[in-house]
Structure formats: structure tokens, C-alpha cells
Structure 1
């Protein structure tokens, strides 16, 4: 028995029941198949540990097992003794026979009888032999590489499909794991890179990892519309990382490829308004983005109407700012922030009573920042 139950548990034959129990618990936790992705190797080792513990934990079974071990050791020792003291000429089953003695019909020839003949040298390999050998090795290498590429592609596609299934079931971490496996077998797998980037960006908020995956997907596509979408996503990650110049450049590239992307227009407008303080450019981008949304029949987001109104306010175009703010209030009359912004517009126009009324409404609607303005400007 080269591997008995004591060896499996890693304890001596004199181990106490407590030591056996502690060893079993440690190995059960260490070798549990669920911790190793359901590996059949760890499953077999886990089963062996369980069988060893059931035997050694029961005193009666342990005593019987120890007796079996002692008998096996005695048999092994007896066999070794018989092997050591057997007769040299005795035939032992399982041991090969010694080679027969060489057959001689006469004594070896003396030096006077010997004569030598020069053997001409022969080239072992000709040029043709080298070419054939090289061709064979090259063909074999090409075949191996082709098989590996095929298997990697099949494995990557299988993992990607499993990732899509987990994605549809909202099992985000499982989906990321499958997409990562697909990319491991096929680093240029564009769809897997894009899907993993979306999960890293929108679920894990790991914008650096998402940006790396978007850049990898960009290297694998030449279609303008698809490149525009990837550049837009990459720019969103760069904004979160504070890479404003790169974000603005990628958004401009995305719009150059596909000018109908309303999201890219609005995102670049945000960058120009809040980060670069380029108010005319921000107004232009917000206007283009809102126009494209209305063309396709989508509702206008009040957030970007508010942003455009703020850009007009910064440009001192108070009439346009007021118009955008009023459109927001038509959609959401209880927007305290817009009441506050309308108060700022009225304040710039010198209409103190209207400004105070807007500040008062903003406070009633829960916009706490308006309270300070009301206290400073209203009696």
C-alpha cells in the first residue's frame, strides 16, 4: 500500500482522534471542488480524504485497517527476504532471464589473420534530404499552429456565448469571467473586449480597465459607425479618469465618423461646458445633440436643456437661458434647481422680486442651495 489512509490525511499511524479530525477538516476546506472550479482531480482527492476519515474516525474500522496494514507489511518483508536468499540460478517469475553466453566455434582470430579494408565515407544527408526534412518539419509546425488556432477560436467562441448567457441573466461577475477566458484564448476577440468593457464601465466603474478594452476593440474594427460608438464609450471613461483633452479629442473623432450620435454631441457639450468652459462650443454641441434626438423621435432630456440654459446664462444670453429653463419646468414643474436658476436669471435682469420668488419656490421644493441666495438677496 504505497498510499494508505494515514498518508492521505498526512498524519502518523499513532495520531490521536483529535489530530485526525483536525487534519480532515483542513484538507476538506483546502481540497473542496467548489474552490477549484469543479476540477475532477480535486474531486477525487476530496473523496479520498472523506473515505480515509470515515475509516480512521471509527475505532473499530481503524483497528481492522491497522491490522490489514500490519499484514501487508509482513507480506512485503517476507517477499524481500525470499528475494535476498534465493538460489542464484533459480528462476523467479517476473524477473527476466539473463542473456545466454555467446556461442563460439573457434578462438578469436590472431593479429596475423586480420586484414583491413578502407571503407569510403558516405554523406549521410544530401541536399534533397535536408529539403525534405525541413519541409516535413515546417508542415508539421504549420499543422500544429493551425490546430491550436482553431481550438483557441472554438474555445473563445464557446466562452463568449456562455458570457452572453450570464450577461442576459444579469450575472455580471460570471459574465466578466467568461469574457476574460474568451480574450485569453483569442486576445483580438472584438466582441468579448467590447462586452467586458461595458461591464467594467457601467457595473464595476473600473474606467481604466474599461478604457483598455475599448482601445483593444478599436484596433480590431474599421467600420466607421462601430468605431464612432467605441470612441464615444472610451471618451466617457476618460472623462471619469480626468483625461479631458483625450476625451474631447475622441468625441470629436467619433462625431467626424458618425455625426448622428446624439450622445457624443451631448457628452462633448458637457466637457466643453464644465471642464473647458468653452460656452459657445457647448451651446453648439447641446443644440446638435438635442436636434438629433428630436429627429429620431426621442424625448428631450431635461438635464441637457438645463445645461444649455446654463451655457446661455454664462454667455449672458438671458432670454435663451430663461427659455430653456421654462421648457424644463414644463416637463418637471417641481424641479427646485431650475427655479433657483430662473431666480439667478431674474437677478441678472434686475428683477429682485421675481428672483426672490423663484428662490423661495426652490427652497420649498427642497433645493437647499437656494436658501443662502434667498437670505443674501431677499429681505
Structure 2
């Protein structure tokens, strides 16, 4: 059995306070945030967390201490066979010989004792082999021999089919290294079922895997459990919110988490920004803009931040109305910035306002007549409007400025003599 005291590096039967101090010290050293992409450190952190969960709970600690003392007593007896045990055995053997009536009784007791001993001996050997293969797998992961690690974890599970950590680690490998979410799902489920203590990271990982195979309800259920178990720990909550936003497209659930995170830490601009884009996807422009303004106020470079928001709203979220609103704010502050007029022109065309779009494109060229991209764009628009003369003028100008983009129609009509 695992020795949680050894895991935390403290004396056996140490107090809860000693366990707490040791856990804090080790947690700082092995926390995943300080050891990114390090499966070994992640595994150590998981083990010290499991040990602390047991030793910090008075009831669980008392039960564990009783079990530990029993295990050590048995190990000592098997290893050393105390003299008094030998004497007792000889005395019982003599009594049995003197009283034949007790033969069946003693034979039965000896048989039961022998079976129990062999069972515990085999269990001990299997436990050792399981642990051996598990730690061999950790070493294989350290040197990126993932196929070997899978084989070693499979051996560990074969010797101990309730080895929760082995199932969990194999699931992560299936998911992250071999792109096998279905295999990972089975192992995550076995890990959860075999774990002595429910752990938020297991539900989090399984929820992500459910999302990968498009089982949305399974993902939502696991994410809810992970949030409750972690008590809304920020790293876990943000990862779940990102999954809701990016993979599951459950923007309302993402907003709920971001709102809770903002209540925990109102100074973190990232939470406002992520919530703002979630609102944007729901076309709730009023609440989205309120959060965007908060983000911009907290930014060290407000101009650049608003530019980023305009670009993401246009290209990723496809919320052209809100993108146009923020572009308008930039234009009010920088009315001669040609790039802003060009962006506004594109947004207006996407919203079906061709006349205004062309006006802003003309202004972009007016404020920067050396930008070939502006001329390429206007030449293509003139061609769509069946104005070939104006189109060729802009296409020729774009070529003079170094344009290498090909357009079969414009190249044919504008450069047919070449």
C-alpha cells in the first residue's frame, strides 16, 4: 500500500499540521504552473495532493493509520517470524497430536491461515510489480518514449486493475500523444471509478475528451463536477470556460464562469475580455462593449488593444456591427489614419453599405496613396461595378507599387499588350 507519510517526507503518524506544512512546501516545488509540460512533476504533484487529502482529514487519517499499522505488523511478522509465534505454533502442534479430536479443527485453521498468507503475499508481489511498471512509464514519458510508456502502464494495470493513477496517465497519453479520445475516455472512467478520493482534474480531463468526441452533455456534467470539487480554483475554472467558449460554443455557460472569476479577481482584465467576446457571440453588444471598455481602461496601450478587439470581432466573431463601433471610436481619435478607413470600408461592405464603403476606401487612399493593397481592393470593386477604366487605373497603380497578386480578368484587360 502507498505510504502517504513517505510521499510527503514526514515521519509516520505525524500530525495534520506537519502534513499541511510538508504539502505546501512540496506543492510550491511541483505545481504544474511552475513545471509546464512536465508529466513527472505533474504526477508527483498529484501524489502529494492525494496524500494530503487523506492526512488532512481527521477521520480518513485515523482509518489510514490503523490500516498502515496493520500492514506493517503483517510485514514484520512475515519477514522476521517472531520467536513467540514459533513457540505458539509448536505448542498448538503438540496439543493437536495429544488430542486427535482437534485434528480437523487445526487443519482447517492452518489451511485458512496458509491461504490468507499466500493471498497477501501474491497481492504484495503484484503491488510491487504494478508500481515498478508505473514508475518505469514515468521515466519513458520523461524521454518521450510514449509507446513504451503505454505498454508499461498496461502492465501496471494488469497487475493492479484498480490502479487509478495508471489509468489516468494512460488516458492522458491516449488523448495528447496518440489522438485516441475514445481510448482515453475508457481510461478516464476507470480512473474515476478506482480513485479513493474524487479529484477535479480527472473530471476536467474527461470533460475535455467528451468535448473532443462531441458528447456535449457528458462534457457539461463533468465540467460541473470539476468546478465543484476544485471550489472554483481559477486555473481549472478558466480552462473549463475556454472549453465552453472555443469547443462547445456554450457561451452562456462560459459567461457564468467568467462572471464568477471576475467576482474573485476584479483586477484581471483577461476575464473581462473573454466574457466580452462571449457576449459578442450572443450578439449582446451592450454588455460586450461595457466589458471591452473595462479591458481598454486596464490596458497599458489602449489604442493597440482596441485595434486587436476590432480585428478579432471582424475575423473571428463575425460581429461586424460591434467591430464597426470600435473602429468608429478609433477614427474619432485618429481621423487621418488610413488603416482605420480601410478597415471601416471592409466592414461597411460586409454590412451591405457599398456607397459608404467606397467613400472610406477613397479616404484610405487619400491619406496613404502608396499602399498597393488599397488600390488592389478598389480595382476589384470597380471591376464588380463594371467600371473597367477606373479598375485598370487602380490595377496599374497597384502594379507600380509592387503588387504581385494575380487577377485573370484585370491582367487580361489591363495588360493585354504584354
What SS class does the counterpart of residue 317 from structure 1 fall into?
A: helix
Is residue 232 of structure 1 aligned with residue 204 of structure 2? yes
Out of 169, 182, 207, the position equivalent to 1:195 is 169
Structure 2 Cα separation of the partners of residues 359 and 211 of structure 1: 50
The partner residue of 2:133 within 140, 153, 159 is 159
What RMSD over aligned residues (CA atoms) do the two structures have, in Å? 4.4
Q: Which is helix-richer, 1 or 2?
A: 2
Q: Label 1:352 to 1:258 Cα distance change in 2 as closer, same or farther (>3 A).
A: closer
Three-state SS of the structure 2 residue aligned to 1:219 is: helix
Q: Aligned residue for 2:322? A: 345
Whole-Å separation in 2 of the counterparts to 1:133 and 1:169: 54
Matches of 1:301 and 1:310, distance apart in 2: 14
- Distance (whole Å) between structure 1 residues aligned to residue 262 and residue 144 of structure 2: 31
| CA positional deviation for 1:246 | 1.8
Partner of 1:255: 227
Is residue 2:143 matched to residue 1:172?
no
- Distance change (3 Å), C-alpha of 1:330 and 1:346: closer
User: Aligned match of 2:215 in 243, 252, 260?
Assistant: 243
Give structure 2 stretches of 5+ with no counterpart. Answer: 1-99, 332-337, 359-418
For 1:165 and 1:142, locate their aligned partners in 2 and report how far apart those are by CA, in whole Å: 35
- 1:278 CA displacement: 5.9
Query: Given the two structures, how large is their TM-score scaled by the length of structure 2?
Result: 0.47
Check conservation: 2:207, 2:219, Cα contact below 8 A. yes
State the 1:324 CA deviation: 7.0
CA 1:249–1:204 in structure 2 vs 1: closer, same or farther (change >3 Å)? same
Match of 2:157 in 1: 183
Q: Does 1:216 align with 2:190?
A: yes
Match of 2:14 in 1: none
CA distance in 2, matches of 1:329, 1:152: 64
User: Greater CA radius of gyration, 1 or 2?
Assistant: 1
Alpha-carbon distance in 1 for matches of 2:269, 2:180 = 30
Q: Give the Å deviation of 1:351.
A: 6.3
| Aligned equivalents of 1:189, 1:138: Cα separation in 2 | 28
In the alignment, the residues of structure 1 paired with residue 149 and residue 306 of structure 2 have an alpha-carbon distance, to the nearest angstrom, of 38
SS in 1 for 2:147: helix
Count of equivalent residues: 245
| Residue 228 of structure 1, CA deviation | 1.3
Q: How does 1:350-365 map to 2 (within 5 A)?
A: 360-361=342-343
